[in-house]
Structure 1
Amino acid sequence: MSHTAHIPSHRKPRLSASKLAVRAGVAGGVLSTLAMAGTASASPSAEPVTDKTLEMPVLELDLAAEVSSAVTTAAENTRAAAVEGELNAQEESARTGAAAEAKQAKADAQQLANAEKKAKEEADRKAETERASRDADRTSLTSTSASGSTAGSASGSGSTAGKGSTPAKNSGKGSGATAPTTGSASAIVNFARAQVGKAYVLGGTGPYSFDCSGLVRAAFKQANISLPRLSQDQSMAGTPVSLSALQTGDILYWGAKGNAYHVAIYVGGGKFVGAQNSNTGIVERSLDYDRPTGAVRVL
């Protein structure tokens, strides 16, 4: 007997094939159970999961109609904008044109006003010149008349002292005027009109220039009528007549009767011929141009 026969062996006895199969089956069942438990614990809800399908809304669009409408709207907007722009341009043009017309009208009105003002100033200047000329003529004639009266008085005194006779009696009408029956108004008027355009010269008695009384005296001489030389005396000749009853050949005067500073000849038709002043010369004018103070009739 061996000395090791009484020592027990430490190796485990081998399992038989049947036992191994049983153990394998048990292990497999445990593992299967564990797997199912893990799956169940991993599920968030005990309720079964139901698959749901989301249905999207169906858009029923007519793209062709939408595009056509959008194009039409855009075209109408464009046309409206063009029309509005054209109207604005026309309105601006109208405003500009109206402003230009108003400016031109204002300029024309101002030019017309200036022209009228200038014409009025010119007329006033001429009238003032005529008045000044007549005043000068009146002063000169007054001085001449005074000198003539003094000389005449001296001559008359001398004649009376020398001859002892009385002064001759006037045979004509008015102051020293004679009025023969052969007087002709047409001869007076024709002569006066023939002098129109000639120069006015103070103291002139013709034939190329006259002053107012010189022209009247020369015209009446054509009818064989002798008038005084001065306008003051001529306004006293003949018979006074109204300006509303004038006849051709009447003598018109300006100023007081017997102290007139201007005379002219009435030629009919509401007109007179007179030697006005150095600016106008001898002219034929309407009575309204320079209304006379009075008139006398010698014929």
Structure 2
Amino acid sequence: MLITLKVEEMTIHYLTGNILRLLIIISVSFVLTQLSASLLSLTLVQFGMERDSEQFTTKLKYNFNHERAYLSTLVLPNTCSNDVRQALQKIDYAEPELRFVGLVLDKQTLCTSNGMLSHPIELQSTTYPLFRYTSEATSQKEIAVMIKGVSNTFIVFLNTVRLRDFFRYNCQSCISYQIKLMNEVPPTPSASTWFVMVHDYGQARGYLHVSKILKKQIDEKYFWLYFLMYFAIFSWLLLTYKLYRSRSQSVEAILIQAANKQQFIPFYQPIVNPAGKIKGVEALMRWQDNSGAILTPNMFIDTAEKLGGLMR
């Protein structure tokens, strides 16, 4: 009956201890997730953006090099005749990377597939062949590329590469992209900007602005994933500690510790003759553990004999 109660007490103590440890791990994991979610999200998104940026910038550079190779060998009359306009129109349709191409007639005029276009060209030696151009159609400043061919000079406007085709972390108003020439002031991040990545194009820089809207979305999306990560780490650490502790507290280790602490005590049992007189004593070994309980040899003698000299 006493043994049964002892087993039940140990079981309850074991379960209570494990539940307490589990609650501690859950609490610590939750608090750490709240404290580090922003940093984890920033690291995750920046890593993804860097990989996606490589593909994005490679596409932009490919478009430019492709059009330069194509137009540098093209020969057209330096006029804006119907034949020239039709040739330019074919180029616009045949080359998907081109928004449109203009044939430079002089420093003020372009010939396009839609006709003559006023175009004041102001080149900077530090940014050539890139330059800033104010569009007559949109009144917005855009970047154009000057490509010199065998006998012609062309002004090329490349299509804007869609960000959503390359960036996995993308949503409406989440990211924006601006290209600035080397002699221009970089765009100033707004209060809603989370972080900025800069891409080097030689004579220009590309600025990828990532909004805090994306930060909020990533924090909410991956919060419980971060929590599970911390929970798994702390659970693994606790399991490793318990395995180490159980190994260090195995029967063999406990017996050796008991011997070092001189917890094995001889108990002397008298040996009497038929006349009832004591003719000697029998030494019986007992183990008095840390709690003061006396353990009989049948509980440790087999293991002690296996240890042999280690018990001395």
TM-score (norm 2): 0.28
Length-normalised TM-score, structure 1: 0.29
- Larger helix share, 1 or 2: 1
Q: Which has the higher strand share?
A: 2
Larger radius of gyration: 1
